A and B are shown apart, each in its own frame.
Chain A
Amino acid sequence: MYCFLFFHFDRKFPQVSAGSSSKPWMPLDSQQPNSHCYWLTTYSELLCVCSHSHLYWIPFNEDPNPNTHSSGPSTPLKNQTYSFSPSKSYSRQSSSSDTDLSLTPKTGMGSGSAGKEGGPFKALLRQQTQSALEQREFPFFTLTAFPPGFLVHVGGVVSARSVKLLDRIHNPDEPETRDAWWAEIRQEIKSHAKALGCHAVVGYSESTSICEEVCILSASGTAAVLNPRFLQDGTVEGCLEQRLEENLSTRCGFCHIPYDELNMPFPAHLTYCYNCRKQKVPDVLFTTIDLPTDATVIGKGCLIQARLCRLKKKAQAEANATAISNLLPFMEYEVHTQLMNKLKLKGMNALFGLRIQITVGENMLMGLASATGVYLAALPTPGGIQIAGKTPNDGSYEQHISHMQKKINDTIAKNKELYEINPPEISEEIIGSPIPEPRQRSRLLRSQSESSDEVTELDLSHGKKDAFVLEIDDTDAMEDVHSLLTDVPPPSGFYSCNTEIMPGINNWTSEIQMFTSVRVIRLSSLNLTNQALNKNFNDLCENLLKSLYFKLRSMIPCCLCHVNFTVSLPEDELIQVTVTAVAITFDKNQALQTTKTPVEKSLQRASTDNEELLQFPLELCSDSLHSHPFPPVKAVTVEKASPVGDGNFRNRSAPPCANSTVGVVKMTPLSFIPGAKITKYLGIINMFFIRETTSLREEGGVSGFLHAFIAEVFAMVRAHVAALGGNAVVSYIMKQCVFMENPNKNQAQCLINVSGDAVVFVRESDLEVVSSQQPTTNCQSSCTEGEVTT
């Protein structure tokens, strides 16, 4: 148990610190007079209920900032809070939300120092019951993958955003203000999770986007109910075995709604689970976590992206923050609309690994949401998309609409074929029709469009299923529908996802290719409209993906995993998109065969996480770090491997490729290496690089400069790992890539921050040989480890 969690903390540590590390840039005095803050809860079902959500937003639209003038400078921390969480959530959360914004989050996970990351973990060990977990200040997990059975229910995505001004901070060095800001947001997240009937948040992450003095703080995660047994004492194995038996019957458990059906926090569209037929499930599920290993998926998954730009007037401080605050909810809504539509278009019903990134620039806001769509067997089949025109009298218009409708239906059919989605037919009687007024529910409205009465006259059914209605009431909507159809599917033999592994593919070969691609485009300043901007951004991302497919065509059949898009707006008219992903080939022939059972898979996965991989030799645990109650956790969370540890390791094992001049070091953003077993963790690599040139032209312009720089960054990481005796970097992530240029002066600067875990891996084919060679080390470590853990 210790070790399992230990590794995942290790792995996800960079993500946690990403949130806290950004803090030094945004300190603020607690007397900060005017900060604009709004929070938005995004449930997976948001779009099903958008007619309701719409109502929430109308007053916001009409009177965007009613309190601006009343907020006097003397009021400490006066925030304008717009919450879109259902009102019920307040009654439920009352105790927790009132607790303390003043509390310094010393025991919380985000307190800013790396050493505290173990906090919740230790707490989990101490507090042996579920209720105890609920008492935690922030029962958040940044992990995205869990042992089978750990997740009991998943509620949906919860997120909160807050717009803050950085220039009013009197004491930039003090962390109080920042802590208070994050505390608010976490509190909000917690309350949203509660509203969904969940007591914990998994797949939690925090991020910031800063432009001048305005800062958007964002946090999101997935509300979940966790299995209390895992939080008690005992080994993973014990729990595993128990759970696995249960899992065989309830593989769909995590899809079941955690909230009370009759007292739902929001109107949702529920059906009986298609797997067990006992419990209720929502019609779509959005999560920020990886697909649980025990989930039953039909067909393959695919990367789904929603892209959005909104122009914003240039403004200073206060006015700027207000403008951003006003735009944000609409953007969030639009992003969700897009995600939902694209999901329907793919014929899928669940999103995993959802990451919504809002970037603020001087004159625009960019939203980019990436997720992996899958078809969960437990959820109902998604309905189609119905297009409705606003002026039904015009003949040619009607024709156009029906033409588009046909195209959409064709696309859905094609996608189903492409992703091999062919769920078993289930007769209507078994499922029943538990949803009242399906017509009202399924109606999908755009944010700008007003609800109209026409809806009742339309035939909303698509086959037997309820269809989404896309209403085309203006050119904007037309654009949107068109943009839906412009997303080109990857060429055959290619799959892409932003989760660790692609659902539906599990026969990976060992060939991997990690890459980073950076693109910067300059927008012309002329006649920039939202549509043009959207189109440009969409084209940018699409072209980038196409380019990746083209470049990696030699690896077909392969899958782009962990596709991670980062958008930044370095200047007025510049959009920078950075993509890091790994392409892994798989065996097509085996892919056609029946896949391993989920249990088998999960066992495999669990079995890799055993004690002998520990970063530190056991002597360290028992001797030098004796006084610490939980040495392994402590050791990992306290920064990098200590020199002692490194030294010990180096003495023990020779570099793996001693015979060749330059050893090959693999890099991957995933936590594992296909076809190989990780035999040793050597510690976190966290490196910052700054490069400046004053001879930009001579180095081949900006592209040449950055190309060479990134190649060198990779080389330095590889060299560092090789020096530690490792032969791979897992969980690699490029956290920052800030690029600035001044072609007039022939100069450019770039800052890059990368991190990952250095490991030693052994090919599974070589495994027998190696294990016979190193019996002493393994035995020794496992023996001593046993002592520590028990």
Chain B
Amino acid sequence: MRRMDKGVSSKSPRKSGHTPFLRRRDLVQSPVKPPKFRIQVKLRRSRRGQRRWEKSQEEVRGEVAGTVETKGGTPFELLQTAAGRQDAGAWDSPSRPEEALLLRVVLPLSSLAAPAPSPPPLAVSRKWSYAGSGCRERNLGTPGSGLEAARPARAVLPPARAAAAPGVAMTSELDIFVGNTTLIDEDVYRLWLDGYSVTDAVALRVRSGILEQTGATAAVLQSDTMDHYRTFHMLERLLHAPPKLLHQLIFQIPPSRQALLIERYYAFDEAFVREVLGKKLSKGTKKDLDDISTKTGITLKSCRRQFDNFKRVFKVVEEMRGSLVDNIQQHFLLSDRLARDYAAIVFFANNRFETGKKKLQYLSFGDFAFCAELMIQNWTLGAVDSQMDDMDMDLDKEFLQDLKELKVLVADKDLLDLHKSLVCTALRGKLGVFSEMEANFKNLSRGLVNVAAKLTHNKDVRDLFVDLVEKFVEPCRSDHWPLSDVRFFLNQYSASVHSLDGFRHQALWDRYMGTLRGCLLRLYHD
């Protein structure tokens, strides 16, 4: 039955006589001969109070076409109602805004024209085909069959396509390639991850000279890119939980390729991660991604993916016990290196370390990651006792509280002098910048110990890196300490505390200074 209808309807309305709808192509085909219809449109209120269309159409033999009579309500209203209904109902063409625009242009014409001039302008006919759809219709001329015939006619040719049709001999409707083993093109995957649209990706691939290498055409490239993008799109939801990718059955992908897919998906841009490192992975930050995108030149899509990756990993491992790196590796199947990086990102996000200050701009993600790893190893609860009922994510609160005790090193003047003399004796002659060191010792020591004492407060924890750079790195740098001298100094500085008899918190000092020494050495560069 369906096919039968179509058979009838696809004839031109002129020929079939009782099909009162013009499709655009019909008109394009024969613009000279005017169709013979009159359409009456009435607008009235239905019981529900909603506006409802009722429209009667009739074939009027010999009459010039294009007559549109409207009663009740301005034509503008009327058409808007029609457009509105269309949007809600029958079809949803991608060119909807354009349609609406056209309708408005049409209006003066159709509302002016009692008998429209012949031949009728294209726009009028479009209006007809528009008004006919989605509305109740009654065919007075030939009841029954005409109505049946009219419906599929509209179904066959949505307006978007009709508009595209003239001039183009053929348009591709559907174009897919499915392999038993899912094909994955690394280059296209990269482009996809970088957030390029299909068009951009094709352009980039063309520029890469692939056409010359393979003798393919741009159309082939387009279709290939589309295929890959579709595949990646389908894979994406699996990539959100990598173990699913391993256990799913839909895509047969060799293990090496699976690993590559995951690794690349979770890879991130250095520039991007520096921007969000230490920020709360919240909706607020996500809103700022477009700024980051413009700043870093990374596409917004890629930024979103990376941000969502951070957030996803964070959410999963947040409440988990055990080693942070292991947890990430287990749940996201990442390589060791990448898992460590994610651990650092999660750690920073959890503790909200400030990394965005101008002073810290010279530091790379690698520097922070290194520090994060040291801190995770030494300063978290898990570091003391792996059986502890806590995670690697949070710093050991007790330890931070205890750090106040170190204050005695600078508060007690005797202790400070003793410490200084110990360090100076040990380093005399070995340090290129000895005099500067000697002059600055108290300041430096005060800075380092005060940083420790301040860690009690969350706010000061966040500023840890700012403080370290301000209190230690910058003074040393201004005196042009070479890195080797910094190392000598820090070693001696932390070691000589053991010789201070009046100081009782040796273990605490080692836990603090051991990590800090590593961090400072890493942070000390231009």
Measuring CB to CB, which residues of chain A are less than 8 angstroms from any residue of chain B? 212, 314, 316, 362, 491, 513-526, 532, 535-536, 539-540, 543, 546-553, 571-572, 574, 576, 660-662, 664-667, 697, 700, 702-704, 706-708, 710-712, 714-715, 718-719, 739, 742-746
With A523-B170, A718-B252: A362-B7 Cβ-Cβ less than 8 Å: yes
Contacts of A526 in B (CB 8 A): 25, 28-29, 165-166
Contacts of A519 in B (CB 8 A): 172, 174-176
- The answer to whether A706 and B174 have CB atoms under 8 Å apart is yes
With A662-B249, A746-B92: A521-B178 Cβ-Cβ less than 8 Å: no
Nearest CB of A to B19, in Å:
14
Complex CA gap A572/B252 in Å reads: 37
Contacts of A552 in B (CB 8 A): 183
Interface centre among A316, A549, A703 (most CB of B within 10 A): A703
Complex CA gap A711/B215 in Å reads: 28
Contact string, B156-186, partner A, CB cutoff 8 A, digits 1/0?
A: 1010010001111111111111111111000
What residue of chain B has the Cβ atom nearest to residue A722's Cβ? B249
Complex CA gap A352/B233 in Å reads: 41
Selected contact of B174 from candidates A516, A662, A697, A739, CB within 8 Å:
A739
Residue B250 at the A interface, CB < 8 A?
yes
Nearest CB of A to B487, in Å:
49
What residue of chain A has the Cβ atom nearest to residue B172's Cβ? A521
Contacts of B7 in A (CB 8 A): 212, 314, 316, 362
What residue of chain A has the Cβ atom nearest to residue B184's Cβ? A554
- The answer to whether A719 and B214 have CB atoms under 8 Å apart is no
Contacts of B158 in A (CB 8 A): 743-744
With A517-B176, A519-B174: A708-B234 Cβ-Cβ less than 8 Å: yes
Nearest CB of B to A709, in Å:
9
Complex CA gap A667/B214 in Å reads: 27
Contacts of B6 in A (CB 8 A): 571-572
- The answer to whether B169 and A710 have CB atoms under 8 Å apart is no
Complex CA gap A660/B258 in Å reads: 13
With A550-B216, A718-B249, A744-B158: A513-B173 Cβ-Cβ less than 8 Å: no
Contacts of B215 in A (CB 8 A): 491
What residue of chain B has the Cβ atom nearest to residue A706's Cβ? B176
- The answer to whether B173 and A711 have CB atoms under 8 Å apart is no
Selected contact of A572 from candidates B10, B91, B214, B219, CB within 8 Å:
B10
With A546-B220, A743-B91: A517-B178 Cβ-Cβ less than 8 Å: yes
Complex CA gap A314/B255 in Å reads: 54
Measuring CB to CB, which residues of chain B are less than 8 angstroms from any residue of chain A? 3-4, 6-7, 10-11, 25, 28-29, 90-92, 154-156, 158, 161, 165-183, 214-217, 219-221, 223-224, 226-227, 230-231, 233-234, 246-252, 254-255
With A536-B170, A572-B10: A744-B176 Cβ-Cβ less than 8 Å: no
Nearest CB of A to B357, in Å:
44
Complex CA gap A702/B156 in Å reads: 15
What is the interface of chain B mostly: helix, strand, loop, or mixed? mixed
What is the interface of chain A mostly: helix, strand, loop, or mixed? mixed
With A524-B169, A547-B224: A515-B230 Cβ-Cβ less than 8 Å: no
- The answer to whether B170 and A522 have CB atoms under 8 Å apart is yes
- The answer to whether A700 and B220 have CB atoms under 8 Å apart is no
Top 4 A-B pairs ranked by shortest CB distance? A520-B174, A744-B91, A515-B179, A520-B173
A–B Cβ pairs within 8 angstroms, 18 of them:
A362-B10, A516-B177, A516-B178, A518-B174, A524-B166, A524-B169, A543-B223, A550-B216, A571-B156, A574-B173, A660-B255, A662-B249, A703-B176, A704-B230, A715-B251, A739-B174, A744-B158, A745-B90
- The answer to whether B183 and A551 have CB atoms under 8 Å apart is yes
With A362-B7, A543-B220, A746-B92: A662-B250 Cβ-Cβ less than 8 Å: no
Complex CA gap A172/B177 in Å reads: 38
Nearest CB of A to B188, in Å:
11
- The answer to whether A551 and B91 have CB atoms under 8 Å apart is no
Contacts of A743 in B (CB 8 A): 91, 158
- The answer to whether A707 and B234 have CB atoms under 8 Å apart is yes
Contacts of A517 in B (CB 8 A): 176-178
- The answer to whether A546 and B216 have CB atoms under 8 Å apart is yes
Nearest CB of A to B247, in Å:
5
Complex CA gap A509/B175 in Å reads: 30
Complex CA gap A712/B177 in Å reads: 13
- The answer to whether B220 and A547 have CB atoms under 8 Å apart is yes
Complex CA gap A572/B23 in Å reads: 15
What residue of chain A has the Cβ atom nearest to residue B233's Cβ? A700
- The answer to whether B249 and A715 have CB atoms under 8 Å apart is yes
With A525-B25, A719-B249: A710-B165 Cβ-Cβ less than 8 Å: no
Interface contacts beyond A547-B224, A551-B183: sample of 14 additional A-B pairs, CB < 8 Å, sorted by A: A514-B180, A517-B178, A518-B174, A521-B173, A524-B166, A525-B29, A543-B223, A546-B217, A662-B246, A667-B180, A704-B230, A708-B234, A711-B182, A742-B155
Interface centre among B181, B231, B249, B250 (most CB of A within 10 A): B249
Nearest CB of B to A514, in Å:
4
Complex CA gap A588/B280 in Å reads: 57
Complex CA gap A200/B28 in Å reads: 57
With A212-B3, A515-B178, A744-B90: A522-B224 Cβ-Cβ less than 8 Å: no
Contacts of B246 in A (CB 8 A): 661-662
- The answer to whether A707 and B154 have CB atoms under 8 Å apart is no
Complex CA gap A719/B250 in Å reads: 9
Complex CA gap A549/B223 in Å reads: 13
What residue of chain B has the Cβ atom nearest to residue A517's Cβ? B177
Contacts of A662 in B (CB 8 A): 246-249, 252
Complex CA gap A712/B234 in Å reads: 12
- The answer to whether A703 and B177 have CB atoms under 8 Å apart is no
What residue of chain B has the Cβ atom nearest to residue A579's Cβ? B177
- The answer to whether B252 and A664 have CB atoms under 8 Å apart is yes
What residue of chain A has the Cβ atom nearest to residue B3's Cβ? A212
- The answer to whether B250 and A715 have CB atoms under 8 Å apart is yes
Nearest CB of A to B170, in Å:
5
Complex CA gap A513/B177 in Å reads: 12
Complex CA gap A655/B493 in Å reads: 65
Selected contact of A700 from candidates B165, B214, B230, CB within 8 Å:
B230
Nearest CB of B to A318, in Å:
15
Selected contact of A513 from candidates B180, B214, B224, CB within 8 Å:
B180
- The answer to whether A551 and B224 have CB atoms under 8 Å apart is yes
Contacts of A549 in B (CB 8 A): 214, 216
- The answer to whether A522 and B173 have CB atoms under 8 Å apart is yes
Contacts of B174 in A (CB 8 A): 518-520, 576, 702-703, 706, 739
What residue of chain B has the Cβ atom nearest to residue A491's Cβ? B215
Contacts of B219 in A (CB 8 A): 543
Complex CA gap A719/B247 in Å reads: 12
Interface centre among B4, B154, B180 (most CB of A within 10 A): B180
What residue of chain A has the Cβ atom nearest to residue B221's Cβ? A550
Nearest CB of A to B429, in Å:
64
What residue of chain B has the Cβ atom nearest to residue A514's Cβ? B180
- The answer to whether B25 and A515 have CB atoms under 8 Å apart is no
Nearest CB of A to B187, in Å:
11
Contacts of B170 in A (CB 8 A): 521-524, 536, 539-540
Complex CA gap A710/B179 in Å reads: 9
Nearest CB of A to B395, in Å:
38
Complex CA gap A236/B173 in Å reads: 51
- The answer to whether A550 and B171 have CB atoms under 8 Å apart is no
Selected contact of A524 from candidates B168, B172, B255, CB within 8 Å:
B168
Complex CA gap A714/B251 in Å reads: 9
Contacts of A532 in B (CB 8 A): 169
Contacts of B29 in A (CB 8 A): 525-526
- The answer to whether A661 and B247 have CB atoms under 8 Å apart is yes
What residue of chain B has the Cβ atom nearest to residue A712's Cβ? B250
What residue of chain B has the Cβ atom nearest to residue A511's Cβ? B181
Contacts of A708 in B (CB 8 A): 234
Nearest CB of A to B173, in Å:
4
Contacts of A539 in B (CB 8 A): 170
- The answer to whether B173 and A744 have CB atoms under 8 Å apart is no
- The answer to whether B214 and A491 have CB atoms under 8 Å apart is yes
- The answer to whether B181 and A513 have CB atoms under 8 Å apart is yes
- The answer to whether B171 and A521 have CB atoms under 8 Å apart is yes
Complex CA gap A744/B247 in Å reads: 37
